[in-house]
Amino acid sequence: MIDPRAEQFLSYKTGLKRELHLPVWLNVMYVHVAFACIAMASGLLNFSNRLLEKKRNLHRMNGYVYVLSVFLVVLTSGYMVPYATGGKLSSMGFNELNIIWPLITITALVHIRKKRIVRHRNWMIRSYAFCFTNLAIHLLTFVGQQGFGLDYVTSYTCGVYGSIVLLLLIPELIIRASSAPKDAQRRFRNL
């Protein structure tokens, strides 16, 4: 809304190996952002225990909306990757993200199909974290620029790889923190 033609962001895309067809790229970006928002909203909604208990079919359908949205985000990202700020190095990081996120999401889907509820939930926590990829990249880019005095392109490239680490680490901390009380209760009962 602030920069609908992404002119500020596109100004950092220099030295591209392929010609950037702006109208096509912008339309793909809009689809990418729209489905990222849908994934974020549907994923959040499905963490509601109330929805799961009272409207199981809605939870299931919403889950499929989430999975479809993830795959459409990854698909559109695949188009935009060659034009990534930071060139080939950033593109490789985005390709890693485009492999990791769907694999984690498929793993969550496999677990629910096998009725492994806790494992499904944990893998969904891992998958949902990747909805925050853009936020993590731009937060780390800001820290690189403001905190370490790096130029935008270097900060952005570091942000891409740093976000992968953060988005793999943070869900593990959340999962461990949420399961720690249950382990402590189990140990207490066994005393």
pLDDT digits (tens, 9 = 90+) for 109-118: 999 999 999 9
Asked if residue 46 belongs to a domain, the reply is: yes
Quote the pLDDT of residue 15: 63
Within-domain flag for 52: yes
- Is 44 inside a domain boundary? yes
Distance CA 131, CA 44 (A): 10
Between 12 and 173, where is the model more confident?
Answer: 173
Q: What domain range includes position 106?
A: 20-190
147 found inside a domain: yes
Name every residue whose Cβ is closer than 8 Å to that of residue 50 and which is 6 or more positions away in sequence. Answer: none
Residue 13 lies in a domain: no
2 within 8 A of 94, measured Cβ to Cβ = no
Average pLDDT on 136-144 reads 97
Distance CA 92, CA 20 (A): 18
Any idea which residue has 């990418």 for tokens?
32
- Is residue 3 assigned to a domain? no
Residue 19 pLDDT more than 90? no
Asked whether residue 5 is assigned to any structural domain, the reply reads: no
Give the DSSP H/E element, type plus range, for residue 36: helix 22-46
Average per-residue pLDDT for the chain: 90
Domain count, the chain: 1
State the Cα–Cα distance between residues 53 and 134, nearest whole angstrom.
32
Q: What is the pLDDT of residues 119-136, one digit of tens each?
A: 999 999 999 999 999 999
Read off the pTM.
Answer: 0.87
Dump pLDDT digits (tens) for 52-106. 899 999 999 999 999 999 999 999 999 999 989 999 999 999 999 999 999 999 9
Is 11 inside any structural domain?
no
